[in-house]
Amino acid sequence: MQTADATRAVAAATSVASSLGLTADDAIVLHDSNALTLRLLPCDVVARVAPVAQPVARFEVELAQRLVEAGCPVAALDPRVEPRVHERDGLMVTLWTYHEPVSRREIPPADYADALGRLHAGMRKLDVPAPHFTDRVEQAQRLVASRDRTPALADADRELLAGTLSSLKRAIGERGGAEQLLHGEPHPGNVLTTRNGLLFVDLETCCRGPVEFDLAHAPEEVGEHYPGVDQDLLRECRILMLAMITTWRWDRGDQLPDGRRLGMEWLGQIRAALA
């Protein structure tokens, strides 16, 4: 978020917490993207704040409740308050349990694969409306096709991304494999190492598709420990995912630190993968 928006988000989160009897004298930014994730102290609650224009907060709250009830490894809403979306100053605020990290080391691939497998098993039991993964691919396609939104993207790179997104979306769709509800972005930044084991956060990206699409976001070694993986499909999903996140780095509104450098690096990786 821009500085002014972030200041407003902090004010909204502390206001909501205080109105619910939670003391929030300080706020620590845990993550800043399309939503701002804060740790409020001393009540020790995680607040996620997003514009009302992004209605996924209600979906995320409802899905998290159902996944927790199903025993899935996901972070839960804070049990001290009613599990719902709170609105303040044009913003949506949700309150979650804070988990103190127990380790800074890299997650063992086998543990990562086990946790993701248990999440997928629980998700298979849920019948909830969710976008298809190709909807997100099409968002990236519209972005790369718009010179107004991606003015710094060179013609050759634009052609590479457009062709990769189109061909792999078609190739994966033509495989006709099994699909289910997915996390959508289960990368290491959305995995917490806690006393209760690994927990996944940020469910707003949930979509439907093959499990290989989720595995494409995890470290490469994780796919070697996940049972029944179609390795050819996983390779296609990895390249597709890389093309998507590379496209987002060229959005003139992208706020990821060092995003343009990463975009250049990933363009090289895509060319190497397709060679």
pLDDT of residue 196: 85
Q: 28: which strand partners?
A: 39
Ramachandran angles phi, psi of 77, nearest 5°: -70, 155
Q: How far is CA 55 from CA 33, 173, 252, in A?
A: 16, 28, 23
Sign (positive or negative) of CA dihedral 49, 55, 60, 62: positive
3-state SS class at 158: helix
Q: Decide: 85 and 92 in contact? Cβ < 8 Å.
A: yes
Please state the pTM of the whole predicted model: 0.91
Long-range contacts of 156-165 (CB under 8 A, 24+ apart): 157/250, 157/267, 160/267, 160/270, 160/271, 161/243, 161/246, 161/247, 161/267, 161/270, 164/239, 164/240, 164/243, 164/270, 164/274, 165/137, 165/140, 165/141, 165/240, 165/243, 165/244, 165/247
**193-205 pLDDT per residue, tens:** 998 899 999 998 9
The token pair at 141 is 């396609």
Residues of the chain with pLDDT under 50: none
Q: Rounded to an integer, what distance in angstroms lies between the CA atom of residue 270 and that of residue 275?
A: 9
pLDDT of residue 2: 61
pLDDT of residue 250: 95
Q: Decide: 202 and 74 in contact? Cβ < 8 Å.
A: no
| Residue linked to tokens 């709170």 | 86
pLDDT of residue 3: 62
Amino acid identity, position 254:
D
The token pair at 138 is 């099409």
Alpha helices, DSSP H, located in the chain: 3-19, 56-69, 109-123, 133-145, 155-175, 211-215, 231-249, 259-274
pLDDT of residue 5: 80
pLDDT of residue 176: 85
